[in-house]
Amino acid sequence: MTARVGVVTFPGTLDDRDTQRAVRIAGLEAVPLWHRDKDLHQVDAVVLPGGFSYGDYLRAGAISRFSPVMESIIEQAKAGMPVLGICNGFQVLTETHLLPGAMLRNNHLHFVCRDQKLRVENVNTAWTTDFTAGQEIQIPLKNIDGQFVADARTVDELEAEGRVVFRYLDVNPNGSLRDIAGITNAAGNVVGLMPHPEHAVDPQVGTGGTDGLGFFTSILKKLVSA
Amino acid sequence: MTLDTVKHAGETPDVELPWAELGLKEDEYARVRDILGRRPTGAELAMYSVMWSEHCSYKSSKVHLRQFGEKAPATDALLVGIGENAGVVDIGEGYAVTFKVESHNHPSYVEPYQGAATGVGGIVRDIIAMGARPVAVVDPLRMGAPDHPDTKRVLPGVVAGIGGYGNCLGLPNIGGELVFDACYQGNPLVNAGAIGVMRHEDIHLAKASGTGNKIVLYGARTGGDGIGGASILASETFDDSKPSKRPAVQVGDPFQEKLLIECTLEAYAEKLVVGIQDLGAAGLSCATSELASNGSGGMRVSLDDVPLRDSTLSPEEILMSESQERMCAVVEPDKVDRFLAICEKWDVLATVIGEVTDGDRLEIFWHGEKIVDVDPRTVAHEGPVYERPYARPDWQDALQADDAGKLPRPGSADELREQVVKLVGSANQASKSWVTDQYDRFVQGNTVLAQPEDSGMIRVSEETGLGVAIATDGNGRYTKLDPYTGAQLALAESYRNVAAAGARPLAISDCLNFGSPEDPAVMWQFVEAIRGLADGCQQLGTPVTGGNVSLYNQTGEAAIHPTPVVAVLGVIDDVARRTPIGFGTEGQLLYLLGDTREEFGGSAWSQVVHDHLGGLPPKVDLERERLLAEILISGSRDGMIDAAHDLSDGGLVQALVESCLRGGKGARIVLPEGLATSGDATDDAFVALFSESAGRAVVAVPRSEELRFTDMCGARGLPATRIGVVDGDALEVQGQFSIPLTELREVREATIPALVA
């Protein structure tokens, strides 16, 4: 008996098939979820993958957050279901206010694609238990709207509560406040980050690294032992 | 104003139409009247003018392009050849790959962002139209002088456009080129290539057959953008005296195109599509006439049913509009509902605009009146054909006599070091990461290799590791010195790059960028280049699957260097065996494969150090290229080489610098005697490092494999010279100089950002 992880496809989602593959490589069952369908098909967790949903028109994630599937996801996330938002998925999560803050255009105004070093700051979330505290990992980053911002009180709160999950190392690629690459909600079940763990699960492709696999093995352990 | 119907045209033979403004020549207009037996209607004139433009009809190039078919090598790999939206190649295991390179040069100069973006959009639709899922793009670029202020306008816009569109489509950008030369100042070249993958049974063709089948137009609404773009923008030389042509550039919406990809692939999967054509240059004029011309029957279309973005558009404008992100499918009547449902699922607007008829006419109606009644073949395939005069220019001899070998060479080890640093930090040889970091190279999760590797590589099958590689190359300087040889050098380099990555070259696509065909000297370059390419492909066994011709890349009298860009596609049985360029393991032995001669004509050194272009380009030996490729592929498959890098512009030293920096390891080079023989150690080193002799590569061989590797080279007759070892954190050429990798990296990374700052 394995766990079922839903992967949402919005119009303009790009990394849905890659995310399904990463979920399968970790030993989980990947369940495609369609943006118009409220039914979550009894999944145990959900990943919102990267891309340019609705072309990022208006503002990244701003339209997707109103889709029918998100109504169910917001409800379930509040009830404790693990949710991971990657890149555009992270942007959607901030638009829903499941996570605080917002993403601005990168401070250098260009799209950036690079192999990014991160430090794992919190290994107690649903998606990070397979890492060790302070572990340095390397996974691809690719976005144009990746600059994490929030008001000072929110950022202080995130820091104080240990809710900064990932921090950029060596290079801050987009001007994010305090090098923040990913955060979690207070309960630790909802995590969002800009870099792409699903692109670092197979040594034959991408950068050849497999540091992204930990996200998916973490959730597998959590769901199967639960 | 009365509607210019077919009936009206028949009754008013003397009405003057603006055929000249639409780009038709007098004799061409006479031919249209001849074909129709009356004057054309305004709508018919619009169709003929745009379809008979150079861009759509290949009227100046057709007679020469035939060689690609006539000299095509015998191969089982080619499933679909020239003439369709893109060629298709069999790569085994039931998979087929379609690929093509196209130009979007003129629009990208006028409006760099949208011109480049819609270039990507257009080539990707060609790939979808063949039945394939697009899996990667590449972008060969040529820009003006690096320090010219306009380059600062064009380059960032083009890069942002390619990235903005391709990234949003979810297509990894895995290769391409960026070359600067003053000859491209007013005519930058923005070529875009794409690869798609499908199963054999999914191949689709652009033809309308089956009487009663419906014509479905789907995708974006039709607007006023790009009207006349093909005939006006792409087919005339830029001329200051004419009014601004800015509105003729189209605007792209990559989100709409992403939906178009997904909904088209879903319709294929359910076998709903009989024939399909994308709307690119010449829009509906092209799609309807080509579908009908390729099919067995005729076609009737109602323009009133075309969804419009601007309700004031005239029927002529609707026919000519180049609004992006539109496709036309031929669907059996009982499958139309399902087709429309899939479009609705993806929020894609879809409308039945006509049907296949049992006649042989293309008839188009507006407000119930017939405004077009033509034989579609006369529009799409039987346009004018020109045998343009061509002649070897009188300056060619003087150019070739101006031997680069006579240029002053570095006189001391210090000067040699200085020139190495200058070369590798020059705009053409510097790192292109400022560009490539703006492209997503990871999306889709199958990227095995991407820039700055010798070729891009994509995994096709997760189960078996089957993959494809692609490289694009073209050296305008070589081609200017000798068009026949230059075209073969482009082919040879691209072929070599694919083999260096461990893949077996299968087929090519080309984008032929030249000046005005009305200039006999340019026409001679074009004819020679095609002859060289066709002969080369025949010899190497790599058929031309299709491509694109871009003429009129010239401002006033000044044409660009003739620039044939060749894309070679290769296959690799298992991507786990691919060969990267980076030197990654200390102690591995470096071997130089091939022969080094004193060849500096058109070289990077002659350009960077002396601002010189003259002499003859490097010699081509295609049998040697084939042998080198076989060795590189065998070495990769059998684990004898861990890194390989082809030698091209910048010669050995450029390849060593790139491989060292890519792998993060230095190299100690001991140049053996006999590589050059002037007797002067510095001069010998200079020749060894900077010569651009073709048919060469540098490889890193694990010590345990050395004997097996050199035995293989010896047995097959490929010169393999041991030149050093991977070691340390500098590039050291013994007895001459040592340059720390940190210095090389700094110099190479700083150049492009400084140009656009």
Kindly give, in sequence order, each residue whose CB lies less than 8 Å from that of residue B593, ignoring residues fewer than 6 positions away.
B628, B631, B632, B696, B697, B698, B699, B713, B718, B719, B720, B721
Instruction: Report residue B692's pLDDT band, with 50, 70 and 90 as the boundaries.
Output: very high
Distance CA A182, CA A142 (A): 14
Residue B673: the pLDDT is 73
Asked whether the beta carbons of residue B163 and residue A111 sit closer than 8 angstroms, the reply is: yes
Instruction: Report residue B677's pLDDT band, with 50, 70 and 90 as the boundaries.
Output: low
A137-168: per-residue pLDDT in tens?
999 999 999 999 999 999 999 999 999 999 99
Specify burial of residue A190 (Cβ count, 10 A radius: 0-12, 13-18, 19+): buried
Asked whether the beta carbons of residue A204 and residue B347 sit closer than 8 angstroms, the reply is: no
Asked whether the beta carbons of residue A113 and residue B253 sit closer than 8 angstroms, the reply is: no
Closest in B258, B259, B447 to A205, CB measured: B447
B68-85: per-residue pLDDT in tens?
989 988 888 888 887 777
Q: What is the mean pLDDT of chain B?
A: 93
Residues of A classed as catalytic: 87, 196, 198
Asked whether the beta carbons of residue B170 and residue A196 sit closer than 8 angstroms, the reply is: no
User: Which pair of structure tokens corresponds to residue A28?
Assistant: 């989980």
Residue A71: the pLDDT is 97
Asked whether the beta carbons of residue A17 and residue B163 sit closer than 8 angstroms, the reply is: no
Q: Please state the rounded mean pLDDT for residues B5-23.
A: 91
B624 pLDDT higher than 50: yes
Instruction: Report residue A96's pLDDT band, with 50, 70 and 90 as the boundaries.
Output: very high
Residue B233: the pLDDT is 41
Residue B247: the pLDDT is 55
Minimal Cα–Cα distance from B444 to chain A, Å? Answer: 6
Buried b (16+ CB within 10 A) or exposed e, B541-576: bbbbbbbbbbbbbbbeeebbbbbbbbbbbbbbbbbe
Q: Please state the rounded mean pLDDT for residues B693-714.
A: 98
B234 pLDDT higher than 70: no
B520-558: per-residue pLDDT in tens?
999 999 999 999 999 999 999 999 999 899 999 999 889
CATH number at residue A126: 3.40.50.880
Q: Please state the rounded mean pLDDT for residues B625-649.
A: 97
Residue of B nearest to A16 (CA): B444
Residue B228: the pLDDT is 59
Interface of B with A (CB under 8 A): 160, 163-164, 167-170, 253-256, 258-259, 346-347, 436-448, 459, 462, 465, 575-576
User: Is A66 touching B (CB cutoff 8 A)?
Assistant: no
Q: Which domain holds residue A196?
A: 4-225
Q: Please state the rounded mean pLDDT for residues B590-617.
A: 97
Asked whether the beta carbons of residue A142 and residue B440 sit closer than 8 angstroms, the reply is: yes
User: Which pair of structure tokens corresponds to residue B690?
Assistant: 């900077």
For the sheet containing B95-103, what is the strand order?
B78-80, B87-92, B95-103, B189-199, B133-143, B173-180
Q: Which amino acid is at B602?
A: G
User: Is A209 touching B (CB cutoff 8 A)?
Assistant: no
Residue of A nearest to B757 (CA): A108
Best probe of the B interface among A86, A142, A202, A207, by most B CBs < 10 A, is A142
Closest in B255, B437, B444 to A12, CB measured: B255
Closest by alpha carbon to B50, among B299, B229, B217, B303? B229
Closest by alpha carbon to A99, among A125, A133, A137, A121? A125
Closest in B253, B442, B444 to A113, CB measured: B442
Residue B246: the pLDDT is 37
* B731: β partners: B667, B739
Closest in B255, B442, B446 to A142, CB measured: B442
Residues on chain A touching B448 (C-beta within 8 angstroms): 204-205
Instruction: Report residue B565's pLDDT band, with 50, 70 and 90 as the boundaries.
Output: very high
Q: Which amino acid is at B556?
A: G
Closest in A14, A196, A202 to B170, CB measured: A14
So what's the ipTM on this one? 0.95
pTM of the model: 0.95
Residues on chain B touching A204 (C-beta within 8 angstroms): 448, 459, 465, 575-576
Minimal Cα–Cα distance from B723 to chain A, Å? Answer: 29
Instruction: Report residue B230's pLDDT band, with 50, 70 and 90 as the boundaries.
Output: very low
Closest by alpha carbon to A54, among A88, A86, A6? A88
Residues on chain A touching B255 (C-beta within 8 angstroms): 11-12, 52, 54-57
Distance CA B661, CA B742 (A): 9
Running DSSP on this structure, what letter comes out for residue B518? T
B126-157: per-residue pLDDT in tens?
999 999 999 999 999 999 999 999 999 999 99
Q: Please state the rounded mean pLDDT for residues B195-206.
A: 92
Residue in this structure with the two tokens 């192999």, named with its chain if needed: A115
User: Per this entry, what is the length of chain B?
Assistant: 757
- Using DSSP's 3-state secondary structure scheme, residue B182 falls into helix
Minimal Cα–Cα distance from A31 to chain B, Å? Answer: 18
Cα separations in angstroms, B111 against B11, B131, B148, B253, B317: 43, 31, 17, 15, 21
Closest in B346, B445, B465 to A21, CB measured: B445
Distance CA B275, CA B258 (A): 20
Helix%, strand%, coil% for chain B, nearest 5 = 40, 25, 35
Q: Please state the rounded mean pLDDT for residues B100-123.
A: 94
B243 pLDDT higher than 50: no
Asked whether the beta carbons of residue B445 and residue A56 sit closer than 8 angstroms, the reply is: no
Cα separations in angstroms, B363 against B52, B212, B289, B360, B366: 19, 14, 10, 9, 10
Best probe of the A interface among B173, B265, B443, B451, by most A CBs < 10 A, is B443
Q: How many domains does chain A have?
A: 1
- Using DSSP's 3-state secondary structure scheme, residue B276 falls into strand
Helix B483-500 crosses helix B520-540 at what angle (to 10 degrees)? Answer: 40
Running DSSP on this structure, what letter comes out for residue B635? H
Residue B82: the pLDDT is 75
Residues of B classed as catalytic: 55, 104
B328-358: per-residue pLDDT in tens?
999 999 999 999 999 999 999 999 999 999 9
B244 pLDDT higher than 60: no
Residue of A nearest to B436 (CA): A113
